[in-house]
Amino acid sequence: MARRRSTGGTPAADALTTAGIAFEPVEYTHHDEATDFGAEAARETGIDPTTIFKTLVVSTGPRQLAVGVVPVSGRLDLKAIAAALGAKKAELADPRAAERSSGYVLGGLSPLGQRNPLPTVIDASAEALPVVYVSGGKRGLQLGLAPADLARATGALFAPIAR
């Protein structure tokens, strides 16, 4: 377990600091061969994987993007996020579009401090947890914070969007 403390130093951490929201930055060693970034975060930090949430960008129409935040152990239900956003349908966004919009690379995509803030939906399961961990804006950094604070910082709503 290679868990290190830091102050963050990313737009995501800066957004929380500016908003006066308490958070716990946790750095870990990212391995270039890793492709399941959430599983890697859990393994490397020792954080309970049920509290680590992944950030996924979806498209709900031409040039219409939104963010879904779901447990790494689950999957995003595209019909459910479309309904939560009031859209007819949703599909995973092109990875390049997600990176351009957010300003982050895949595996480090955070719902916080995005270049272009997007409508955000957090899976309702987060509300029952005292702390959730989301990407801190770079591979190898997770930020732990209260789910209500995550919603406040992103303007998100909670809805059952994971399966």
Give the pTM. Answer: 0.91
Render pLDDT for 71-91 as a digit per residue (tens, 0 to 9). 998 999 999 999 999 999 999
Environment class of 150 (CB within 10 Å of its CB; exposed 0-12, middle 13-18, buried 19+): buried
Helices (H), the chain: 11-19, 37-45, 78-85, 95-102, 147-154
Query: Which domain, by its residues, includes 33?
Result: 4-159
pLDDT for position 161 = 98
pLDDT, averaged per 10 consecutive residues of the chain (163 residues), comes to 52 95 91 76 87 96 94 95 97 95 92 96 98 94 97 98 96
Residue 57 DSSP SS3: strand
Which residue is it, tokens 């930090």? 45
pLDDT for position 6 = 42
What domain count does the chain have? Answer: 1
CATH of the domain at 110: 3.90.960.10
